[in-house]
Amino acid sequence: MKKYTYSILVLLDKYGKLRFNELQRKIFGLTQRSLSIRLKELEKAKLVKRVVETTEPVKVYYMITTEGKAVKNAIQILISLVNLLDNSNNKDEYLC
C-alpha cells in the first residue's frame, strides 16, 4: 500500500465526499502532486469515485466506493491485529 492511501480512504469514508483541496488540507504533508497521483490510482482500482457536478463553476468531488470501504475495513483489521500482537507480553506466541 502506498503512502497516504489509507488516510484518503478513511477521510472519504468519514466525510462522504470531499473536494481535492479539502483532502489535501486534512492530510499533513501531502503535496498536490502526490494527492493527484494517489487519487488517480485509487480511481483506477475502483476504490474511489470521481464525481463532477456541472454547476457554475464546475465542482469535482471524490467519494469512497463500496470496494474502497471493504479495503479500508480490511486494513483497519490488520492494523488492529498488528497492534494486538505488538502489545502482547509473550513475543513467542503466534496466531498460526
Structural domains of the chain ordered from first start:
5-87 (1.10.10.10)
Predicted TM-score of the model (pTM): 0.84
Predicted pLDDT of residue 69? 96
If you average pLDDT over residues 48-61, what whole number do you get?
93
DSSP string computed for 33-63: HHHHHHHHHHHHTTSEEEEEE-SSS-EEEEE
Predicted pLDDT of residue 61? 96
Q: Which long-range contacts (CB under 8 A, 24 or more apart) does 63-67 make?
A: 63/12, 63/16, 63/17, 64/9, 64/12, 64/13
Predicted pLDDT of residue 83? 83
Q: Is the dihedral of CA 21, 78, 45, 50 positive or negative?
A: negative
